[in-house]
Amino acid sequence: MKINWFPGHMNKALKDISEQLKKVDVVTYVLDARIPLSSFNPSLDKLTQNKPTLFVLNKIDLADEKRVKDLLKQFENKNTDFVFYNSTLSGKSDIILNKIKQLAHEKVEKYLSKGVKTTVRTMVVGIPNSGKSTLVNSLCRKAKTETGDRAGVTKRGQWVSVGDCVEVYDTPGTLYPNIENQNIAKKLAYVGSVRDEILDFVEIGGAFACDIVKIYPDVLKNRYEIDSFQDGFDVLNQIAKKRKFLCSGNEIDLERAGRTIIDDFRKGRLGKLTLD
């Protein structure tokens, strides 16, 4: 199975992002802390490379913070900043707003020196389902944008006023036209950034099992009491047998086992994990 998902609304979104960027002082680039490298989108990187950028390592509550820190060392430079964040918690958004204003300090100071208060504009970009709209709602402390536990909820851009002289543009999650690196594509699928309907959950669940034990050897033992296995199918087989997942005709339901392991990962039931 080759994983690729680039629906028409994403192509439109990238054009709109390019247009709206002219009005924007700072880019707020939301990365999924469970895949901090694989959640970079080369199409977005190209568009936003000349803007000061705040990288929000979102979903940090589900991720392995130490591993994320090690991975990000390579990106430190003076025109960027990082923040680890959980967008579902309320009352923490000042950290983000302050960092955005800091990155726009040249503009803010220029206007202040003339005695004028200016508006700082930021655009929130990132892969689907990384939590962009939830972050925007967290910044304005109101549910002004639609959010949802699946890829592709936001279909068009939307300006939202956050108060205290900051405006935010929420954008649809974007991927890129051809994901050649299928290791990256699999990780995007594991975290829910690719539409679930195009995935084969036997394949993706089995692949996840094999990938995760390379980084966290005890995960399958801790959650499913699986001590050893031959391949991904064997893992799903063992889970299905232990949980008595049967199809009609009493056949083992491998698909349900595949969905179970992916769902357990997404909900944090396997622990705080980072896959890059």
Given Mg ion, ligand GTP, none, residue 227, with its beta carbon under 5 to 8 Å by kind, binds none
Give the binding range for ligand GTP (CB under 6 A) out of 73-81, 147-155, 205-213, 237-245.
147-155
Report the C-alpha gap between 81 and 100 in whole angstroms: 9
Amino acid at 99: K
Q: What's the token pair of residue 217?
A: 């050897």
Given Mg ion, ligand GTP, none, residue 59, with its beta carbon under 5 to 8 Å by kind, binds ligand GTP
Which residues, 6 or more positions from 56, have their beta carbon under 8 angstroms from its beta carbon? 28, 29, 30, 31, 82, 83, 85, 96, 135
Task: Give the nearer residue to Mg ion in terms of CB position, either 158 or 182.
Answer: 158
According to the binding rule CB under 5 A, does residue 171 interact with Mg ion?
no
Return the residues of window 199-258 that contact ligand GTP according to CB under 6 A. Answer: none
According to the binding rule CB under 5 A, does residue 154 interact with Mg ion?
yes
Q: List the x/- string, 101-130, binding to ligand GTP by CB under 6 A.
A: -------------------------x-xxx
According to the binding rule CB under 6 A, does residue 86 interact with ligand GTP?
yes
Given ligand GTP, Mg ion, none, residue 130, with its beta carbon under 5 to 8 Å by kind, binds ligand GTP
According to the binding rule CB under 6 A, does residue 36 interact with ligand GTP?
no
According to the binding rule CB under 6 A, does residue 274 interact with ligand GTP?
no
Report, in Å, the least distance between residue 153 CB and Mg ion.
5
Determine the size of the site formed for Mg ion (CB under 5 A): 4
Cα 146 to chain center, whole Å? 16
Report, in Å, the least distance between residue 127 CB and Mg ion.
11
By CB under 5 A, name the one of 58, 87, 133, 237 that touches Mg ion: 133
**Which residue is closest to ligand GTP by CB?**
173
3-state SS record for the chain: CCCCCCCHHHHHHHHHHHHHHHHCCEEEEEEECCCCCCCCCHHHHHHHCCCCEEEEEECHHHCCHHHHHHHHHHHCCCCEEEEECCCCCCCCCHHHHHHHHHHCHHHHHHHHHCCCCCCEEEEEEECCCCCHHHHHHHHHCCCCCCCCCCCCCCCCCEEEEEECCEEEEECCCCCCCCCCCHHHHHHHHHHCCCCHHHCCHHHHHHHHHHHHHHHCCCHHHHHHCCCCCCCHHHHHHHHHHHHCCECCCCCECHHHHHHHHHHHHHCCCCCCCCCC
Report, in Å, the least distance between residue 16 CB and ligand GTP.
14
Given Mg ion, ligand GTP, none, residue 58, with its beta carbon under 5 to 8 Å by kind, binds ligand GTP
Report, in Å, the least distance between residue 84 CB and Mg ion.
20
Per CB under 6 A, residues contacting ligand GTP are 58-59, 61-62, 86-88, 126, 128-134, 147-149, 151-154, 172-173
Contact positions vs Mg ion (CB under 5 A)? 132-133, 153-154
